[in-house]
Chain A
Amino acid sequence: MTWQPEIDELHKREQLAHQMGGKEKIQRQRAGGKLTVRERIDLLLDDGSFHEIGAIAGKAGYDEQGNLVEFTPANFVMGRGRIDGRNVVVGGDDFTVRGGAMDAAISSKQVYAERMANELRLPIIRLVDGTGGGGSVKMLETDGRTYVPYNQGWDLVVSNLASVPVVGLGLGSVAGLGSARLVSTHYSVMVRGISQMFIAGPPLVARTGESTTKEELGGSELCAQAGAVDEVVDTESEAFARTRQFLSYLPSSVFELPPRAPATDAVNRRDDWLIEAIPRDRRKVYDMRKIVRTLLDADSFFEFSRQYGSAAITGLGRLDGWPVALLASDPYFYGGGWTADAAIKVTRFIDLANTFHLPVVNLVDVPGFLIGRQAELDGTIRHGARALAALYQASVPWCSVLVRRAFGVAGAAHANHTRLMYRYAWPSGDWGSLPIEGGIEAAYRAELAAAPDSMALRTQIERHLNRFRSPFLTAESFLIEEIIDPRDTRRLLCEFANLAAPLRTPGTVSTSFRP
């Protein structure tokens, strides 16, 4: 006698699990423009690499002879697989089974996935669709009691943020615990049209007297603009492609180093237009992203959180093949001035870079914090101070290029001044405690008030002070270390990446990443 009957039963159970919530529910999933969780996993991972764990967990029904007659799989599919040949953990909600809610879940499966990522030190990707295992009042009936809520597995969710790359993809209407799982990540994406995210959906919100649609309440654009998620894409395939690219810059865990890609772009590439990239007219803006793209290895720039805190540009990229964290200013938004949300974005970004040992390249054009009553109402200084703290706590190699302005406290936050100032300035560099144009009234109030023609005096003072504005005078006093030809920047940044590479130190950092 062999164990073949049991193996046959195992296969039968696996087949039943693959039917998910049944034909009708799968059709509804498709009609909603959504892939099934199994299709998603197959598209995300390298072909045929999915090793499922717990496939046959679920709720079964038996006849009087003890034969299996029905089976509903747990609504969370998980296991290991590979992305670009590297091992990862993936776990996805199956919306076709009770909308992904907890009453059809075996929540220890989610916990298992998180623990597997944690202990095997592998990136984890959460495919969130539904409440992500969150509660349903239906449970009152089945359990005959209620319960004091707790967030199961949250110790691991938090621990993973400090130890392995975590990606969240919003692939449906996501609420409650599902929303918390989606955003408790290093990188989160929603798919336009099929994905919404909220704490509670329209029916619950209606009870508060606010009538909304799912899109109005938690559409993907809204969530990206609010900074709740990092990015919106048009299709699920795009979300998977972005995930694969994001992970390509990162180590599998903090106990390893970011992997170098083949260096395919010339280190000595000099782009002539860089000499005129910054307009001589100080009031004119320019395209910082164009500069970023040309300085990094070709096609290596991976920007995220673009719709949030837009005065700051954050992304990953490569220099001579080495992954780096790229921070820059976008003068189109408040001239690159730090708003509260830009500061929050910078804080999170520095923490990401520090956690995963990504050397930072900072292209600086910061006229200061945004000023005005709205900025004060937003608590800009508190959020800015938090960014300063992140900067001074970071130990990852850091290189700043002052492409234009560095003014005030926010401008000073381009680098930790107590470390080696690995820093360059372009000839367009312009810096100080506050810009001359704005500072004259404050500094020369008495003189201006006493002058018969205060406008003339103001112009005279401004002309006089502008003579001291040349970056060469700063360099004479070694207050800026080097002024460079902008066309040499790529070569110098590649040199930085190569010098920084052996300095990167695997291990956990003292400032754990928070969502």
Chain B
Amino acid sequence: MSVRSIRCPIAGTVLERHKNPGESVAAGEAVVTLECMKMEIPIQTPSAGRLVSVDVAEGETVTKDQLVFVLET
């Protein structure tokens, strides 16, 4: 068991939050979608696991390297 913190690779606005803490996720699933440069950019799971936390809210402006979610694998 390991815990991974996934940080935001870019700055943007949270358009949609697809997952909640406690949910099981497959590899490559979008946890949130950001809007940036008029594009919808998913922040995906690097591997399958369970979400410990989702640390951003819809509508929130996020900065590069901000914590997005914590995944237990």
- Give me the interface of A with B, judged by CB distance under 8 Å: 282-285, 310, 331-337, 367-368, 370, 372, 374, 435, 437-438
- Give me the interface of B with A, judged by CB distance under 8 Å: 9-11, 36-42
Residue in contact with B36 in the complex, picked from A284, A310, A334, A435, CB distance below 8 Å: A334
- Residues on A with C-beta less than 8 A from B42 are 285
Contact A310 B9 (CB under 8 A): yes
Contact B11 A337 (CB under 8 A): no
Contact A331 B38 (CB under 8 A): no
Contact B40 A367 (CB under 8 A): no
Contact A374 B39 (CB under 8 A): no
Q: List 23 A-B contacts (CB under 8 A).
A: A282-B38, A283-B38, A283-B39, A284-B39, A284-B40, A285-B39, A285-B41, A310-B9, A331-B41, A332-B41, A333-B10, A334-B10, A334-B37, A335-B36, A335-B38, A335-B41, A336-B37, A337-B37, A367-B38, A368-B37, A370-B37, A437-B38, A438-B38
Contact B10 A285 (CB under 8 A): no
Contact A335 B37 (CB under 8 A): yes
Chain B residue nearest in CB terms to A310: B9
Chain B residue nearest in CB terms to A279: B40
A332 to B11, alpha carbons, bound, how many Å?
A: 12
- Residues on B with C-beta less than 8 A from A310 are 9
Contact A285 B38 (CB under 8 A): no
Chain A residue nearest in CB terms to B12: A334
A333 to B42, alpha carbons, bound, how many Å?
A: 10
Per CB-CB distance, the 3 closest pairs between chain A and chain B, nearest first, are A335-B37, A335-B39, A283-B40
Chain B residue nearest in CB terms to A372: B11
Contact B41 A374 (CB under 8 A): no
Chain A residue nearest in CB terms to B65: A225
B28 to chain A, nearest CB (A): 10
A333 to B37, alpha carbons, bound, how many Å?
A: 9
B20 to chain A, nearest CB (A): 23
Chain A residue nearest in CB terms to B38: A437
Centre residue among B38, B39, B40 by max chain A CB count within 10 A: B39
A368 to B37, alpha carbons, bound, how many Å?
A: 9
**A334-B36, A335-B37, A368-B37 known; 9 other A-B pairs, CB under 8 Å?**
A282-B38, A283-B38, A283-B40, A284-B39, A285-B40, A331-B39, A337-B37, A367-B37, A367-B38
A337 to B11, alpha carbons, bound, how many Å?
A: 12
A438 to B36, alpha carbons, bound, how many Å?
A: 13
A23 to B5, alpha carbons, bound, how many Å?
A: 42
Centre residue among B9, B11, B38 by max chain A CB count within 10 A: B38
A337 to B36, alpha carbons, bound, how many Å?
A: 10
- Residues on B with C-beta less than 8 A from A367 are 37-39
A366 to chain B, nearest CB (A): 10
A268 to B25, alpha carbons, bound, how many Å?
A: 40
A289 to B9, alpha carbons, bound, how many Å?
A: 17
